[in-house]
Amino acid sequence: MCGEEGEDAQLPAISTVGECAYINFKEVNGKEGWECQWCGLSFKPRHATRAMRHVLKLKGGDIAICKAVISARYRDRYQALYDRQFTRVDSKRKSDEIIRDSVTEQQEAAVQSLLDTRKQPGVSGLRKLPHSFSSSHVASASGGAARSSSSTSLQGQRSVSTMHRSYIRRSNDATVEMAIADFFHCENIPDAVVESSRFKRLISEE
Ligand SMILES: [Zn+2]
């Protein structure tokens, strides 16, 4: 409850906007909604953040702002609640970002070691690929005269770029594979899920 009217006394803090006597959670046309007792308008659905934006007269919050005069003590209390809640959301968002970055880092490291263990013919020299790829380009572009004798270098260039492409494909596959495996393992998802037709539909390429 909002407490008794007093001229100077600060209102006790509230932990949800519904605790304020001026925000009345009630049924509106048979659905859960709420009523602002400052302006007398009712809204649905019930939405604490929108209720706060309404009484704080913050535009652009999917809710009309309150047209009534709201006493400063109440406004301060709403503002304090709003600040507290949004500081929490911000710090939650930050910690989510940190977790996401570290998951990405771990998965990338795992992908690299997965690729290292899958050294297939032609894959072992991959780290040097960008260099050899560009040098073969330079070689074939270095002069028209070289063109006549370039059938072997053209051949080489083609196989390098094929290798490069297949490395990228393999690396993408491994990245996806690792992300899926990590997700399954860390979220405790039973292996049987892969038999689900919903799952198959999810990962099918169409
Ligand atoms: Zn209102």
Output the CA 36–ligand 1 centroid distance in Å. Answer: 5
Q: What is the DSSP letter of 65?
A: P
Distance CA(38)–CA(66), nearest Å, equals 8
Convert the pLDDT of each residue in 184-201 to its tens digit: 888 888 777 778 888 778
Lowest mean pLDDT among 42-56, 94-108, 136-150: 136-150
Beta-strand runs (E) in the chain? 23-28, 31-36, 42-43
Say whether pLDDT at 148 is over 50: no
Q: With bands split at pLDDT 50, 70 and 90, how would you rate the model's confidence at 158?
A: low
Domain ranges for the chain, please list them. 17-84, 118-203
Output the CA 42–ligand 1 centroid distance in Å. Answer: 8
Output the CA 21–ligand 1 centroid distance in Å. Answer: 13
Output the CA 86–ligand 1 centroid distance in Å. Answer: 21
Output the CA 171–ligand 1 centroid distance in Å. Answer: 56
Q: Is the CB of residue 182 less than 8 Å from the CB of residue 107? A: yes
Output the CA 41–ligand 1 centroid distance in Å. Answer: 6
- Sorted by sequence, the CB contacts under 8 Å of residue 177 that are 6+ apart come out as 114
Convert the pLDDT of each residue in 66-113 to its tens digit: 999 999 999 999 999 999 888 877 788 888 888 888 888 888 888 888
Output the CA 66–ligand 1 centroid distance in Å. Answer: 4
- What pLDDT is stored for residue 115 in this prediction? 83
Say whether pLDDT at 136 is over 70: no
The dihedrals phi and psi of 26, each to the nearest 5 degrees, come to -155, 175
Lowest mean pLDDT among 25-29, 35-39, 146-150, 178-182: 146-150
Say whether pLDDT at 137 is over 50: no
Question: Token match 């083609």: residue?
Answer: 158
Output the CA 78–ligand 1 centroid distance in Å. Answer: 13
Distance CA(115)–CA(126), nearest Å, equals 10
Q: Which residues surround ligand 1, an ion (CB under 5 A)?
A: 36, 38-39, 66
Say whether pLDDT at 40 is over 90: yes
